[in-house]
């Protein structure tokens, strides 16, 4: 019963979040939550503060006012509870193989587990290759696999599909959706791409200005 | 281009041919510009007398020892400058002061402080070697930190894991390249110091051998020792290049 209540509670609850930088208010009084097993898309034009918001949620950046509450079970026995998939693939290490990328973020990962993840993202055959030997889509899948290796229930994504061609994006959307459903993942995805938001989001929040967050219904739900 | 054309032996062969051509043309007196054969004979003589091998070993040993000490010191400086921004500034100022100073410039000070000793020699060698290693790796570490800081924080890659997997492995190419620079600066410093210091204790190296050959007017022997220094330089360059190719593949 207690577990059930825990599972239904929001995984992340944000109340009146405010962030200032050098005298400018970037985010002001934002409140929303991340429910279990949902893909929450945060949309908005470039420079509005989407990435700042994601960095605050990932605990990479401090905030000035408000409150963020994380469900305690997110942190139980998990070394990396809030893995982030960053924009582009610059955070992949050119000197590491696919397999080494996984063991860097999850040092105790067993081979069977790594194999399961890499097979799911179609990279098992390429496990001894370095990023320079992978295509753009493969690199993005590696970034996704690295986040999956952390075994967290939440993944934060900062415009991960920017710069990829449409066909590649479509295949990655399908992969992301199916893995999210299989594993019951909760994802916060930051993007400025309306189509991406409509395909992937179970809930879409649009950041119009520092203090305005409008909830939109994705196309699938309409 | 064929492989043998890129070989350092090819460069050496060209130098030897040009050298022999000039010697045979008698453009300079034979005592000042001996032929290749005479230089090689002189080298054989030095080897048979036992002077050459011992001095090569001594010089290489000193360079290797000071390289190890310099790498250790550079490692500490790098840790400090990566960990604390204020330290990075201070060490940067020190580097700006000391890096351009040739070993010979600090030689009088070192002689005053520690005398004409092996310790003094190592101190000057370290001065010559530590700054190029620190300077190059500091720039690389800064770039790695900028690229991977958010990743390391988000994925809790810290401490030794970050030190080895991100900083060390990410900077191996720069480490080898800075070692190459440090090695050549170390050699330069060693040969100059030996020519000024002369004998330190009962041991001497290649620098002193050059000085000695000049004193005895053994020009062929002098060229021979210079040839040995060049060969050691080429062998080291080739060795480091091979390691670089293997590690940075």
Q: List the single residue in B with minimal CA-CA distance to A61.
A: B150
Arithmetic mean of pLDDT over chain B: 87
pLDDT at B248: 65
Q: Do A80 and B155 touch (CB under 8 A)?
A: yes
Closest-CA distance of chain A to residue B151, Å: 7
pLDDT at B202: 54
Answer whether 0.90 is exceeded by the pTM: no
For residues B59 and B115, the answer to whether their CB atoms sit within 8 Å is no
Closest-CA distance of chain B to residue A220, Å: 32
pLDDT at A1: 43
Which residues of chain B make contact with A86, given a CB cutoff of 8 A? 150-151
Please indicate whether residue B230 or residue B78 has the higher confidence score (pLDDT). Answer: B78
The complex scores an ipTM of: 0.87
Chain B positions contacting chain A at CB under 8 Å are 147-148, 150-151, 153-157, 161, 165-166, 169-170, 172, 248
Cβ contacts from A onto B, under 8 A: 45
Q: Do B169 and A95 touch (CB under 8 A)?
A: yes
B177: left (phi over 0), alpha (psi -120 to 50) or beta: alpha
Q: List the single residue in A with minimal CA-CA distance to B166.
A: A93
Walk across the sheet containing A186-191 and list its strands.
Answer: A84-85, A154-158, A186-191, A39-43, A203-209, A212-216
- Flag whether residue A95 sits within 8 Å of chain B, measured between CB atoms: yes
The encoded tokens of residue B184 equal 């050549």
Q: At what angle do helices B206-215 and B51-83 cross, to 10 degrees?
A: 140
Strands A12-21 and A203-209: unpaired
Average the pLDDT over B227-247 and give the result: 84
Q: In chain B, what percentage of residues exceed pLDDT 70?
A: 96
pLDDT at B194: 80
Q: What angle do CA B88, A91, A59 make, to 5 degrees?
A: 75
Please indicate whether residue B131 or residue B208 has the higher confidence score (pLDDT). Answer: B131
Average the pLDDT over A163-169 and give the result: 83
**Of B154, B166, B248, Cβ closest to residue A83:** B154
Confidence of residue A75 (pLDDT cuts 50, 70, 90): confident
pLDDT at A4 over 50: no
Q: List pLDDT tens digits, range A196-206.
A: 998 999 999 98
pLDDT at A39 over 90: yes
Please indicate whether residue B206 or residue B77 has the higher confidence score (pLDDT). Answer: B77
Instruction: Count CA within 13 A, CB hemisphere, residue B24.
Output: 8
Q: How many CB atoms lie within 10 A of CB B12?
A: 14
**Residue B97: exposed, middle, or buried by beta-carbon count in 10 A (0-12, 13-18, 19+)?**
exposed
Q: List pLDDT tens digits, range B148-199.
A: 999 999 999 998 999 999 999 999 989 998 998 999 898 888 888 887 766 5
pLDDT at B129: 94
Q: Do A91 and B172 touch (CB under 8 A)?
A: no
Please indicate whether residue B9 or residue B22 has the higher confidence score (pLDDT). Answer: B22
Q: Do B155 and A58 touch (CB under 8 A)?
A: no
Confidence of residue A167 (pLDDT cuts 50, 70, 90): confident
Alpha-carbon torsion (B50, B54, B57, B60), positive or negative: negative
Q: What is the set of domains in chain A, with CATH numbers?
A: 2-221 (3.40.50.300)
Please indicate whether residue B150 or residue B30 has the higher confidence score (pLDDT). Answer: B150
Residue recorded with tokens 């967050």: A213
Q: What angle do CA B28, B31, B34 make, to 5 degrees?
A: 75
Query: Which of A91, A130, A146, A159 to mutate against chain B (most B CBs within 10 Å)?
Result: A91
Q: List pLDDT tens digits, range B98-140.
A: 998 888 888 888 888 888 788 888 899 999 999 999 999 999 9
Domain ranges (residues) in chain B: 38-247
Give B115-156 as a DSSP string: -SSHHHHHHHHHHHHHHHHHHHHHHHHHHHHHHHHHHHHHTT
Dist CA B191 CA B174 (whole Å): 26
What is the CA B177 to chain-centroid distance, rounded? 11
**Of B154, B169, B248, Cβ closest to residue A58:** B154
Confidence of residue B203 (pLDDT cuts 50, 70, 90): low
Confidence of residue A5 (pLDDT cuts 50, 70, 90): very low
Closest-CA distance of chain B to residue A157, Å: 12
Q: Do A91 and B150 touch (CB under 8 A)?
A: yes
Closest-CA distance of chain B to residue A221, Å: 32
φ, ψ dihedrals at B200, nearest 5°: -110, 110
Q: What is the CATH number of domain B38-247?
A: 1.10.3720.10
pLDDT at B13: 87
Dist CA B132 CA B95 (whole Å): 9
Dist CA B175 CA B137 (whole Å): 7
Confidence of residue B69 (pLDDT cuts 50, 70, 90): very high
The encoded tokens of residue B181 equal 């620079």
């Amino acid at each position: 019963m207690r577990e059930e209540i825990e599972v239904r509670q929001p995984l992340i609850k944000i109340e009146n979040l405010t962030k200032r930088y050098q005298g400018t208010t970037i985010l002001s009084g934002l409140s929303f939550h991340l429910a279990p097993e949902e893909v929450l898309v945060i949309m908005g034009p470039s420079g509005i503060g989407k990435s700042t918001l994601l960095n605050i949620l990932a605990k990479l950046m401090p905030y000035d006012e408000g409150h963020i509450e994380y469900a305690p079970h997110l942190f139980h026995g998990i070394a990396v509870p809030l893995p982030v998939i960053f924009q582009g693939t610059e955070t992949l290490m050119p000197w590491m193989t696919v397999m080494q990328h996984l063991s860097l973020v999850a040092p105790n990962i067993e081979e069977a587990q790594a194999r399961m993840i890499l097979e799911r993202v179609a990279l098992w055959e390429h496990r001894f290759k370095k990023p320079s030997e992978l295509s753009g889509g493969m690199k993005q899948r590696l970034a996704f696999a690295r986040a999956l290796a952390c075994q967290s229930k939440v993944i934060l994504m900062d415009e991960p599909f920017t710069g990829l061609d449409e066909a590649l994006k479509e295949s990655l959307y399908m992969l992301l959706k199916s893995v999210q459903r299989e594993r019951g993942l909760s994802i916060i995805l930051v993007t400025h791409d309306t189509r991406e938001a409509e395909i992937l989001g179970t809930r879409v929040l649009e950041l119009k200005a520092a203090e305005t967050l409008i909830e939109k219904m994705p196309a699938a739900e309409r | 281009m064929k492989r043998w054309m890129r070989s350092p032996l090819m460069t050496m062969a060209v130098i030897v041919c040009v050298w022999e051509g000039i010697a045979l043309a008698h453009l300079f007196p034979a005592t000042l510009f001996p032929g290749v054969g005479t230089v090689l004979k002189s080298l054989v003589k030095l080897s048979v007398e036992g002077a050459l091998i011992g001095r090569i070993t001594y010089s290489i040993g000193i360079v290797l020892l000071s390289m190890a000490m310099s790498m250790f010191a550079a490692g500490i400086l790098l840790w400090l400058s990566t960990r604390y921004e204020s330290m990075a500034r201070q060490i940067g100022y020190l580097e700006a002061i000391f890096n351009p100073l040739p070993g010979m410039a600090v030689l009088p000070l070192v002689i005053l402080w520690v005398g004409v000793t092996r310790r003094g020699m190592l101190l000057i060698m370290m001065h010559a070697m530590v700054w190029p290693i620190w300077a190059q790796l500091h720039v690389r570490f800064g770039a790695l930190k900028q690229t991977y800081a958010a990743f390391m924080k988000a994925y809790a890659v810290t401490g030794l894991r970050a030190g080895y997997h991100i900083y060390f492995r990410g900077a191996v190419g720069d480490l080898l390249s800075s070692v190459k620079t440090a090695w050549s600066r170390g050699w330069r410093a060693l040969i100059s110091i030996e020519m000024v210091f002369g004998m330190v204790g009962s041991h001497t190296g290649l620098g002193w051998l050059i000085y000695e050959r000049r004193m005895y007017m053994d020009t062929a022997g002098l060229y021979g020792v210079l040839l040995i220094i060049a060969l050691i330089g080429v062998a080291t360059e080739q060795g480091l290049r091979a390691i670089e190719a293997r590690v940075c593949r």
